[in-house]
Chain A
Amino acid sequence: MSDVIKLNKLPERVILPLKQHDGIACAPLVKKGDEVHLGQKLGDCKGSELAYIHSPYCGNVVAVEARPAPGGKSVLSVVLEPVECTEAPEFVPEKEAPPSRLMEIIEAAGIVEYYEKPTYKILKPGPLIDTLILNATFPLITRAYLPFLDKVLEGFQLMLEAGGISKGVIVLRADDKESIQAFKKASLNGKPLPVAPIIGKRHADYYFEDTDSDLIALVAGKKTYTPTMMNLLSADVMGRSLPLGYKPEDVHLSICGIKSAKAVYDAIKEGKPYLENAVTITGAVNNPKSLFVRFGTPVKDVIEACGGYRGEPGKLIINGSMGGVAVYTDEVPIVKNTTGIVVQAKEEVLRDEAMPCIHCARCVDACPVNLLPGRIAVMADCGMYEKCGEYYALSCIECGECAAVCPAKRHLVQLIRYSKLQLQKMNEAKNAEVIE
């Protein structure tokens, strides 16, 4: 816990991509040569799914241009030359705000979930939401927030209040003992927070009735629910699995991360916009740890704060080694949905050659959503996309388990992703025909 520190050293350059969520990109509010102060709004956007960009540093705008972003593409970014802030920033919290006002504050703070959706959008997505799930199954990230557990819980309650959601569930990993202990000690309005395991068919609803509390923490299996694994999360925690093409809100659920709970607290109780979060650095660095990093800080500087690369780096992976993106430069910035950075040394980088499938069915045994990944991949390879659809390719959650266990080292995830893309295009074309 004590090793979670805040990265305060000023980087040489700060790069703030103007699109850090899944939606419409922001338009820059500043131009080259402008002076910006801490918390100033740099990007504005209009539309239904938006997240404003604020400056986490004081400094001067050096350029507004396309720069590599951690998603792998180049995105229009505001580049700052940071300086020490001369005057303390003024953040004014609002007291006694009604739920509608809370929502506005959350929207204005530009808070984004770990899966790139703006937080205000998931609190009121349209259909009635009865339960908000806080996904705390990233053990290192959860541990980084344990010192602020009170704030996280309060932020979570504020989210429930803002969205008018009656119940909240915090999901923990079973092997993350440290976090479980901390949540057991936590109190909620003077009462202890109920912490319970998920056993068999005893899902969240059972414990809501059992404990008489509207907010509980549940210990799930030894699984980290990555952004694409919504279906699995809602099935495991609530017992509500999502049929093909359904979103969590269709079964009255919303999912948020521990980072946004803390960010909501900061926004409402301290008046701060979303400026920093915890990032875990693991792999081939000299001193792997979790850090609080302000957005826009290049990965290079974060690695430096962890003692630099150990040996010659071969691969830099943003957001986990199972589903993350390998980036081509360490100049990419930390953005709102960055959770972890994995560094692989040169000799650790995989250099496998794909072989023909031997139908060993390891992918079938590994698949958490009961698909036949090998079969779908073969058909995607041949361009038989309708057939992929018949084998439920669209239900794939892209967790990467199948490709990880494949003895023939086939590129199952990409092939399935490709077939999903083609199927979506075909569906769009079909819908367009119907409208005509």
Chain B
Amino acid sequence: MTQFTISPPPHRRSKISVKSLMYGRIAALLIVGAASLLLFGTPALINILAAILGAVGTELVIQLAFKQKLTISDGNALYLGLLLALICPPTLPAWMAFVGGAFAIGVGKHAFGGIGSYMFHPSLTAWVFLNLAWAQNMLPESIPITSEFSDLLYETGAGFLTDVSPILIILTGLILIATKFIEWRIPLSYFLTTVILALFLGEDPSYIMQGTFLLGVFFIATETATTPVTKNGRLVYGILCGVLTITYGYFAGNYLWGTLYALLLSNVVAPYIEVKTLPTPLGGVLNE
């Protein structure tokens, strides 16, 4: 007799999984990372590898120690390590990048409960940690200014690894949005708010349109676990990110720090935005 599988509906699902979402983002960041190798060469490569090694290794150790299911193949640790390396200067010693990667996963991710449960972006947490622990080493040699179009293409005054080619981040980010790996609401509202406020305050856009800001718009701000899930909430979140970025950047005079601290602070506010933007169901609710 034929055996039939029984299972609850739906019996048809989309092929996209957490793993494919992560590897989509990793592919985009690898392109950005490759551009930084052109300018910075071997130190950048070593830092990227060290951060990834620190991140993936820590996840492996934690999951073995606590006898959890091994999830290093889902790409999340790899992605967070790679992202961290991209927001550090190439002059950072490799062992510090390794410690940063380990901190991102150990404290930023697993101390909060693993994938999906963290309320601060683990890479940002590690970035702040590195900044406080070794402030001298985290200072970039120069602050990039993209005053010409060629700077957008290949910025030789780059500070962090990601600042080398802003146009690559825009392109990969737009491709990810078009293929629905990233949702459009946060990048759009974040970008527009920043640009409008910058124009309003008379800020020179060449200080803002840098790799770090664009990485923040397309990759860091859209980290799903640290953003509100409601549709309106995501728009509000993007606006908040923009306001904070401009606030920090305008008064601190540096949009690298400005972007990253603004995003970390926005992470704190995200749950509040979510509960304040709960949608009403179709048809509404009477008698309440």
Contacts and interface: CB of A to CB of B under 8 A. Distances in A.
Interface of A: 72, 231-232, 235, 241-246, 309, 312-317, 321-330, 342, 344, 349-350, 352, 355-361, 364-365, 368-372, 374-375, 391-392, 395, 400, 403-409, 411, 413-414
B14 A241 contact: no
A361 B234 contact: yes
A232 to B, nearest CB: 7
Nearest to B20: A407
Interface string B184-209: 00000000000000000000000000
A358 B6 contact: no
Contacts of A359: 116, 224-225, 227, 229
A323 B283 contact: no
Interface string B171-190: 00000000000010000000
Contacts of A409: 13, 17
B41 interface: no
Given A244-B281, A317-B11, A407-B20, 20 more contacts: A231-B282, A244-B283, A246-B286, A321-B9, A322-B12, A324-B9, A326-B6, A329-B1, A350-B7, A355-B18, A355-B115, A358-B116, A358-B224, A369-B281, A370-B282, A392-B281, A395-B281, A403-B13, A409-B13, A413-B8
Contacts of B4: 313-316, 326-330
B234 to A, nearest CB: 7
Given A365-B183, A365-B231, A372-B278, A392 B285 contact: yes
B16 interface: yes
B21 interface: yes
**Which 8 pairs, one residue from A and one from B, show the smallest C-beta to C-beta distance?**
A241-B283, A400-B10, A395-B281, A369-B282, A361-B229, A360-B224, A358-B116, A321-B11
Contacts of A327: 4, 6
Nearest to A406: B13
- Classify the interface of chain A: helix, strand, loop or mixed: loop
Interface residues of B, number: 41
Nearest to A352: B13
A155 to B, nearest CB: 30
A246 B21 CA distance: 39
Contact of B115 (A241, A321, A349, A356): A356
B12 A395 contact: no
Given A235-B283, A370-B281, A330 B2 contact: yes
B253 interface: no
The CB with the most chain A CB atoms within 10 A, among B12, B115, B227, is that of B12
A404 B14 contact: yes
Interface in B207-247: 224-225, 227, 229-231, 234
Contacts of A315: 4-7, 11
Contact of A232 (B114, B278, B282): B282
Contacts of B136: none
B93 interface: no
The CB with the most chain A CB atoms within 10 A, among B10, B183, B279, B282, is that of B10
Contacts of A328: 4, 6
Contact of B9 (A242, A244, A314, A400): A400
Nearest to A300: B2
Given A327-B4, A349-B5, A359-B224, A364 B229 contact: yes
Nearest to B227: A359
B7 A356 contact: no
Nearest to B15: A407
A312 B8 CA distance: 21
B91 to A, nearest CB: 34
Interface in B272-288: 278-287
A391 B11 CA distance: 26
Contacts of A330: 2, 4
A356 B10 contact: no
B10 A321 contact: yes
Nearest to B280: A370
B268 to A, nearest CB: 16
The CB with the most chain B CB atoms within 10 A, among A243, A245, A395, is that of A243
The CB with the most chain A CB atoms within 10 A, among B4, B16, B230, is that of B4
